[in-house]
Structure 1
């Protein structure tokens, strides 16, 4: 495979990874700790979240392998695991490595979720909120890619707007898990809720 094809593959899979991970973030933010709806049951939400995550990781793996293989810059597989040791753009490549390490931690603990305490799993899973913006910065700052090209900036803006919009919806007082639980209890047992309020 030619160096040019590998280079374009690395750029394309990096952009696709950003879109997919942004979709994973939006879905996770909007559905965390909540039941499904009649349109999309809870089990379907979890399957969709898991499938999007696995697909994102596959594209990310291709992004890393093609970036290392194309030979345009000197990168090794250790550079993809150990942060800030790359000879080429150590800051921006290092941010990408940190994002990969956080993603691996989330993925591994999710696979082992039944063997972990809920608090330990949740603590690691919350690192997704750090992983995603770090990955965005990696893509924006790496000069060998399309980080500052107009189409990539537009893609960044759309992904950032999507995640921030999901956070805004999630942080609304009526969307707080306690409020949702109270509303569900009122709907399920309206008389008990009236009696409890007296």
Structure 2
């Protein structure tokens, strides 16, 4: 579960603690009680390897227009914390085939689809991410065989995610050298 429900989802403060590196290995999330700095398992002085190097959000293309204001506000809150920490952020937009018949017929048409561009624009407007940080990918869910066109989208998204994370680490290193 993500941020959708209070009953069994994640508490945004725990996500922010994860960004900062305060959560221990194997931490069990509690939607009602996020980890506080008063608890013994809270990592007071996290190392670089404890910290998050990129925030990746995942949203379904066919559901972005129906997301509740509460979920969008939680996502914005987490994004704002990541921005303050200078952590790069991307959004993986899944299920474009459910949001666009053109893409459903031919995934290679994903970047030509007006419907997908509109969904990406909604994500950008609602969450404040630039369009180049919204990565559409088609999920494997009915396919019996691998599909090179789907794989290209997934590999492109992974490559961009790794590049953003590497740039973040490189910038941290350059900042440390300058001190």
Superposition TM-score tier, normalisation by shorter sequence: under 0.3
TM-score between the two structures when normalised by the length of structure 2: 0.28
The structure that is helix-richer by fraction is: 1
TM-score between the two structures when normalised by the length of structure 1: 0.26
Structure with higher RCO (Cα < 8 A, 6+ apart): 1
Radius of gyration: which is bigger? Answer: 1
